[in-house]
Structure 1
Amino acid sequence: MIKSFFTSTTYGHTKELIQYADRVYDEKEFNEDVILQTAAPLASKLSMGVVDERTVRAAAGITMLGAIIVFCVAYFYGAFLPITLFSTYSFIDFFLRVFVGVQYSPSLYIGRFIIRNLLGQQPDWVSAIPKRFAWSIGIILTGTVTLLFWSGNNGLTSQLICLVCVLFTWMESTLGYCAGCHIYKLLKLEPERCQGDSCSRIL
């Protein structure tokens, strides 16, 4: 059951996609592009749950910025209420992503608005299932630190977990490296449904 939860290709935005030259396009976008149409015989269709990598990285950057601010407030001024509230928000945000749906995450919503509306960038679709695994790790980390902060434990353990969270979000937003996704690959989890070898190529 747990493996099925982390391998279901219906998680995320279910879209009809076209993969060509290591890039994934929305089928409508691909069909409307005259230049891409010449490569249609070399392209392959995908049907799976995806997320926009640019939106995910933007959301990670937003989370990182907020975490740094509240961490500095706690460290330099001894005010732990902001970091307690922010860790609670982060836990809820990750919980919504993993168990309810990516479209209900406030951070992803803001990230999508920035990427699509303010910057005018096109989505960069990637498989959603490794992200779900990574965000589940986020639930564990933020859930743990939230419990510690609300119980009044503001010591080294809580601060170290916060620093780990900041490090992970920094790697995601700045380097485009998803630590949780890397762990997912090391565990050799495979999607329960895959069209040809497309899932392995899109991960």
Structure 2
Amino acid sequence: MNKIMVFGEKVNGYEILVLNEREVRAAAGLMFMATFIAFLTIFFNANFVPIKYVITIFLTDFSIRLFINPKYSPILIIGRFIVSNQNPEYVGAEPKKFAWFIGLVLSGSMFVLLVIMNAYSVITGVVCLLCLILMFFETAFGICLGCKIYKAIKKKKAQYCPGEVCDLKAKQDIQKTSKSQIVMLMSFIALVLFTAFLFNEKFKEKPHNLFQSNIITEIKK
């Protein structure tokens, strides 16, 4: 039983228990997609059924990760299937445990409010948006915001952080941002703002059905 209920896995060459960051990011991507789709069904159709299923699944999954073992998490298992052909990227398990505890608290609060109490408010909207932000940063940028909070409040130096960000090192040339790149970025932002100012009213016009318009024209003839 003790071998089952552990957090992280022992890998040769690593002093502490670790997790495969690629699996974690894949799982975060799946969770983000499910939450985003459920959020859209609320926004466009006022349908809260999908988000209630998503919240229940997330709460169950986080509970398995934290109180049993991450390798038995259904969503992480799916993530493992997806990235099974990629070389693993090992990260320290302890910061992830703290980050997933945040996920457990958020999903638990949403479960109480939306599933048990069957009520929505500004609070549920903010919590849902916060979940989306956390998962988006994890899957899109490989940035674990919960891990950063853990690093800030924990006195002991974290080990094996995603992207080796815990290790102080000089940036390589390919990582540096040049002045010309900054100028290009600022020019692009200026172009977007100028386009918005110039064509905003035009963009607001509702597009017509191209084929429907042709049929009507033929009928009128």
TM-score category (smaller protein): 0.7 to 0.9
Alignment of 1:157-168 (within 5 A): 157-168=123-134
- Once the two structures are overlaid, the 10-residue window that deviates more, 152-161 or 97-106, is 152-161
**Aligned: 1:202 with 2:160:** yes
> Could you tell me which residue of structure 2 aligns to residue 25 of structure 1?
none
d(CA) in 2 for partners of 1:188, 1:131: 13
* Inter-partner Cα distance in structure 2 for 1:189 and 1:91: 29
* 2:107 partner amino acid: T
Residue by residue, what CA displacement relative to the aligned partner does 1:24-54 show, whole Å, maximum 9, x if unpaired? xxxxxxxxxxxxxxxxxxxxxx232100011
The C-alpha deviation readout for 1:1-32, integer Å capped at 9, x for no partner, is xxxxxxxxx63011212xxxxxxxxxxxxxxx
- Of residues 149, 165, 168, the one that matches 1:183 is 149
Give deviations 1:60-111, integer Å, cap 9, x for gaps: 0000000000111112111111101111111111111111101111111011
Contiguous gaps of at least 5 residues in structure 1 = 1-9, 18-45, 191-198
Within the candidate set 53, 75, 83, 1:107 is matched to 75
Provide the secondary structure at the position in 2 that maps to 1:122: coil
Partner of 2:8: 12
Conservation of the 8 A alpha-carbon contact between 1:16 and 1:48: no
Task: Give the ranges of 4+ consecutive aligned residues of structure 1 lying more than 4 Å apart after TM superposition.
Answer: none
Please name the residue that 2:204 is paired with.
none
Change (3 A) 1:153 1:110: same
More strand by share: 1
Q: Which has the higher contact order (CA 8 A, sep 6+)?
A: 1
**Paired AA for residue 66 in structure 1:** A
- Taking only the aligned residue pairs, the percentage that are identical comes to 36
Root-mean-square deviation over aligned CA pairs: 1.4
- Cα contact 2:16–2:92 (8 A) shared by 1: yes
* Higher alpha-carbon Rg: 2
Question: What does the per-residue CA deviation read over 1:104-163, in whole Å, with 9 as the maximum and x for residues that have no partner?
Answer: 1111101110001xxx10110110110000000000001001111021212221111111
| C-alpha distance in structure 1 between counterparts of 2:154 and 2:102, whole Å | 17
Q: Tell me the TM-score normalised to structure 1 length.
A: 0.73
Q: Given the alignment, which residue of 116, 119, 132 partners 1:153?
A: 119
- Can you give the 5+ residue segments of structure 2 that lack an aligned partner in the other structure? 1-5, 162-221
Cα distance in structure 1, aligned partners of 2:122 and 2:129: 10
- The within-5 A match list for 1:27-66 is 46-66=14-34
Number of residue pairs aligned between Structure 1 and Structure 2 = 155
Letter paired with 2:53: L
Deviation for aligned residue 1:59: 0.4
Q: Could you tell me how far apart the structure 2 residues matched to 1:108 and 1:167 are?
A: 19
